[in-house]
Structure 1
Amino acid sequence: MASILWFRRDLRVRDNPLLSEFISNEVLPIFIFDTDILSLLDKDDKRVSFIFRSVLKLKNELIGIGLDLAIFYGKPSDIFSAISKKVTIDEILASTDNDAYAKQRDADIASQYKLRRFSDSFLLSSSMGLKKDASPYRVFTPFYNSILPFVEPLSQNIYKPKKTNPANFNYNGILDADLTTKEIAIENIGFDSIDISHIPFLDNPLDLLPGYKDNFAKYKDHRNDISSKPYTTGIGIHLRFGTLGIREVIRELYEYKHQGIDTSEYIRQLIWREFWNMLLSHFPKSEFENFYPFDIKWENNESKFAHWCNGTTGVPIIDASMRELNATGYLHNRLRMVVGSFLTKNLHINWQWGERYFSKKLLDYEPSSNIGSWQWASSTGADGVPYFRIFNPYLQTKKFDKEGLYIKKWVKEYEQIPSNKLYDEVYLFKYGDHFYKAPIVSHKDSSEKWLELVNR
């Protein structure tokens, strides 16, 4: 009998409960390239290249501790059926996920096998961080204040791999549901190999925080800077797929704090991530509908949506943001808020359209954070920005990219335009078509229309 260690978004050996909590004398570590998920993605999706590379790195790490990794391609239910014909499954261990697909997938597997799940992608389990009456918080600040005293202690729980024996199995190649083997190559799961060398600390994620250490003291004051030295770490994709664990990140941040480096604001941002996950866990319908049932008469103009997606709205900061997202899979959090507000409150397009687009493009796409942030920006979610607060893209440009360095980097059409004209809406409407294009909407007029559309 064997414990199946089902690696999903915990692609590391370090501090991984899967490698210490099993009960069998033998283990079979596996990773499944889930065709239900992959079928929804473009063949050049950068995240698949990142996952594929990380899975191979995990395989080598497991070999280093006397185990190995069996790699599969197919539907999880079909894969486990095939495994059960070769190995007696005692239990399956996996980390918890809270989006709708993951919950249904796990429910299907749990109906056939003993499935034990562990909170690894997030510090808190769904039963933690609740109010005294056991109901979930809906506002961030009281949630933050309630869990902050427990954050450091929770991070000290370190899982060390137990010595065990690998199950007798075929660890070579990529296996399908018939256990037919193909060469380990990304093309054999239907995807192109994409250059992802721009991802920070791709091969050595443990060096990420030490490499950023000197910036933490300035993080609070400079984290919104988009045109100067980056004050963001790029840690998101590593947390998303578990090449860095949240516990080891928190431990290191508190170690710096004890050394006199103020990491409080960065820790606060990580607790926002916990907050969004807690909400999705307790309010699963928010994945598909407004957290609060506001009646907004969305216009959902497909042409305007296409301009937003392609970065061709004629609004400099919006176009630069979307072009960076499309080219790299990255987008600064400040800019995510700006483009989110613009899509919903200026173009009057349902936040779900934007959320779906981000889900295809963001390297660090986290369902709970993305859904929560989009509802925040559109004033439809928990602890959302007031509906009458509308980000002015021109004021945001003046405040965060006054010299136009960011905009001119991503929108070459503005290279010869004086920087102060990039936040001059009157100028852009008058002359925009001469060198690129005029904005597709007026900020003032579209903001007033938004207030009319919101039925309060």
Structure 2
Amino acid sequence: MAETTSSIVICWFRRDLRLQDQTALYHALRSEYPVLPVFIFDEDILGKLPSPHDRRLQFIYDALEEMQQTLEKEGSSLEVYYGKPLEVFGTLVKKYAVQAVFTNHDYEPYALERDAAVEAFLNKKGIKFNSFKDQVIAEKEDVLKDDGKPYTVFTPYSKKWKSVVTEEWMEEKHTKALFKNFFRQSPQPIPSLKSMGFEATEKNFPSKSLSTELLKKYGEQRDFPGIHGTSRLGVHLRFGTISIRALARKAAEHSEVYLNELIWRDFYHMILWHFPHVGRGLAFRKEYDAIKWRNDEKEFAAWTEGRTGYPIVDAGMRELNETGYMHNRVRMIVASFLTKHLLIDWRWGEAYFAEKLLDFDLAANNGGWQWAAGSGCDAAPYFRVFNPTLQTQKFDKELKYVRKWVPELDELSYPAPIVNHEMARKRCLEVYAKALK
């Protein structure tokens, strides 16, 4: 047990689970005090998870263990807590003479409230709360229109992003040489998943590595779910096990198309910051909240279970349910199908993805769903309704992807389509037009 007289600074890890090129850690290690790395399994977040078998928790746990192994070699240790952040900091300030807390920005509504409460508590104790940009390249007011207003359309935003962002923004924050500045103590145990009410799950997570060859072919291959043409780094970006700066540097060198995908990420975080109502269940374009959704629960169940009778939709949903991943092109198809063909509220789909996706990120998930529904910024016009059959012919012509996830495709057991495409398209246009007149 550490002495309560130990003067330290805390580096509070959240969505940045790495020891290399981590902004808050870089600044903490350059302070005059030893750095205590802390992670909190937040009761308020974990309490909302519907299943005890959540693979995201396993991913976080594995990342913490990997960090712990490195820290042990340095004679240091993570301190990992399960509880409410405010209460944990109450414990920490009693245990140590905390001089300052270093962390990285989190932009989601709950995180902003949590951080404001922790900062207020620390300030009353005379402890400075330092927060930094780390999970995006550009944030908040970094990329604005010439009149100082935020962009709401991606293409002009991306052009401005490329003109504003310099190599300096993407420079590595070298932390390795500073490891001697960690607080020295024997390894502290990490609370088990079981002790927090969860079970261990299988660990088959995507690799952190991204080959130059894949990047170079990304533009031509990314839309075809039957081939390995995408990076699958979403979960690593979500929890910060890789550096966005390192990835952006590599993308800038090898793939303009992939760099644009990273800029989309920044764009959606910027939207959430400037238009926080999108993070509270409201349409970006408020007039779209007038749409009269059908919200048929049986049809929603068929969609979630991958038995709509549209093979590309069913393949996507089965892939999601089994792996926690879905190819991006297929995400657009299944989201369009739910909102346009079935006229089910995009918020239902958003919530289902939030529960199932390993790489769930509020800003990007909300942005994608509102794009599909037509209610978002830079959205597909409401009268554009993806035809799942044509999408299959275009992007999975040989049915490699479909047959992997829908092996009974040619059997009588495979269901007939739950809705006729032409009828659904006509119905959708009528309902949207009526709401938006």
| TM-score normalised by the chain length of structure 2 | 0.91
Matches within 5 A, 1:382-421: 382-414=377-409, 416=410
Amino acid in structure 2 at the alignment position of 1:154: W
- The correspondence for 1:158, drawn from 155, 173, 183, is 173
Equivalent position SS for 1:129 = coil
The answer for the alignment partner of 2:305 in structure 1 is 310
Amino acid in structure 1 at the alignment position of 2:243: G
Distance in 2 of aligned mates of 1:64 and 1:131: 48
Deviation of the 1:157 alpha carbon: 4.6
Distance 1:74 1:452, change over 3 A: same
Q: Is the 8 A contact 1:27 1:164 kept in 2?
A: no
Distance in 2 of aligned mates of 1:378 and 1:399: 22
Amino acid in structure 1 at the alignment position of 2:427: K
- The correspondence for 1:238, drawn from 236, 245, 253, is 236
The answer for the alignment partner of 1:214 in structure 2 is 213
Distance in 2 of aligned mates of 1:52 and 1:163: 22
Amino acid in structure 2 at the alignment position of 1:438: A
Equivalent position SS for 1:117 = strand
Equivalent position SS for 2:95 = coil
The answer for the alignment partner of 1:323 in structure 2 is 318
Q: Is the 8 A contact 1:24 1:90 kept in 2?
A: no
The answer for the alignment partner of 1:424 in structure 2 is none
Distance 1:348 1:74, change over 3 A: same
The answer for the alignment partner of 1:35 in structure 2 is 43
Deviations 1:213-251 (A, max 9, x none): 112232112210112x31001111111111101011122
Matches within 5 A, 1:13-412: 13-22=19-28, 23-41=31-49, 42-113=51-122, 114-149=128-163, 150-161=165-176, 162=178, 165-167=181-183, 171-174=187-190, 184-197=191-204, 199-201=205-207, 205=208, 208-209=209-210, 212-227=211-226, 229-254=227-252, 257=253, 262-287=254-279, 288-293=281-286, 294=288, 295-412=290-407
Q: Is the 8 A contact 1:25 1:164 kept in 2?
A: no
Amino acid in structure 2 at the alignment position of 1:131: K
Q: Cα RMSD between the aligned structures? A: 1.7
Distance in 1 of aligned mates of 2:216 and 2:138: 26
Distance 1:244 1:451, change over 3 A: same
Q: Is the 8 A contact 1:326 1:361 kept in 2?
A: yes
Q: Is the 8 A contact 2:214 2:231 kept in 1?
A: no
Distance in 2 of aligned mates of 1:24 and 1:308: 56
Equivalent position SS for 2:27 = coil
Distance in 1 of aligned mates of 2:315 and 2:180: 52
Q: Is the 8 A contact 2:153 2:378 kept in 1?
A: yes
Amino acid in structure 2 at the alignment position of 1:443: H
Deviation of the 1:117 alpha carbon: 1.1
Corresponding residue pairs, total: 415
Q: Is the 8 A contact 1:67 1:165 kept in 2?
A: no
Equivalent position SS for 2:173 = coil
Equivalent position SS for 2:40 = strand
Distance in 1 of aligned mates of 2:94 and 2:423: 65
Deviation of the 1:319 alpha carbon: 0.8
Range 62-71 or range 132-141, more displaced: 62-71
The answer for the alignment partner of 1:179 in structure 2 is none
Q: Is the 8 A contact 1:31 1:70 kept in 2?
A: yes
Equivalent position SS for 1:31 = strand
Q: Is the 8 A contact 1:372 1:381 kept in 2?
A: yes
Deviations 1:357-386 (A, max 9, x none): 001111111111100010001000000000
Equivalent position SS for 2:333 = helix
Deviation of the 1:186 alpha carbon: 2.2
The answer for the alignment partner of 2:4 in structure 1 is none
Distance 1:350 1:24, change over 3 A: farther
Equivalent position SS for 1:226 = coil
Distance 1:167 1:216, change over 3 A: closer
Distance in 1 of aligned mates of 2:121 and 2:259: 39
| TM-score normalised by the chain length of structure 1 | 0.87
Distance in 2 of aligned mates of 1:126 and 1:66: 38
Distance in 2 of aligned mates of 1:326 and 1:152: 39
> For structure 1, which runs of at least 5 residues remain unmatched after alignment?
175-183, 418-433
